[in-house]
Structure 1
Amino acid sequence: MSSAMSKAKGFKKSRAGTYLSIGTTAFGVIGVVKQARTAHKDSDTLRLLDAAVSAAAIATGLALLLRELKRLGDDDVLLG
C-alpha cells in the first residue's frame, strides 16, 4: 500500500503526469476563447482584459510544464 501511495505522489512529477497537466491546462483555452468572443461581441472591455490575463496565465503555465517535461528527460519517476 505504501508503494502505491509513493507512486501516486510521484505521478505528478512523471512524464505522464506532466502530459496530463499540459492537456488539462490547454483545455482551459476553450473557456478563455469563449469568454473573449462574448466580451468582444458585448464590447465589454473588462471581460476582454480578464480573458487576456487568463490567456497569459495559461501560456505561462504551459511554458512551465514544457520546461518541466524537458527537465524530466528520460528520468521517469514511475519507471524506477
Structure 2
Amino acid sequence: MQKAKGFTKSRTGTYVSMAATAFGAIGVAKQAKKARLEHDTLRLVDAAVSAAAIVTGLAILYRELKRLGDDDVLLG
C-alpha cells in the first residue's frame, strides 16, 4: 500500500495522471461536437467548462512534473 501512495507523487505516476486527464479530452470533444450538432447551448457550455478543467489539470500536472525534475539529483 505504501508503494501505491508514493506512485502518485512519482514521475511515472504524474505521466499516467496526465495521460488519463488528456484521455478525458476525447469525451469532452465528443460532447461538444454533439452539442453543436443539436444546437444545445447548455451542453456546449458544460463542454467548455470541462475543457477548461482539463487544461487546468494538465497545467497543474505539468508544474508537478517540473518540480519533480528539479528535485532529481541526476539531472543537475
Question: What TM-score does the superposition give when structure 1 sets the normalisation length?
Answer: 0.85
Unaligned runs of 5+ in 2: none
Q: Which has the higher contact order (CA 8 A, sep 6+)?
A: 1
Aligned partner of 1:55 in structure 2 is 51
Measured in 2, the distance between the counterparts of 1:70 and 1:53 equals: 26
Question: 2:73 aligned with 1:65, yes or no?
Answer: no
Aligned partner of 1:16 in structure 2 is 12
Shift of 1:8: 1.7
Count matched residues: 72
Question: What TM-score does the superposition give when structure 2 sets the normalisation length?
Answer: 0.89
Unaligned runs of 5+ in 1: none
Alpha carbon RMSD of aligned pairs, Å? 1.2
Which amino acid letter does the alignment assign opposite residue 56 of structure 1? A
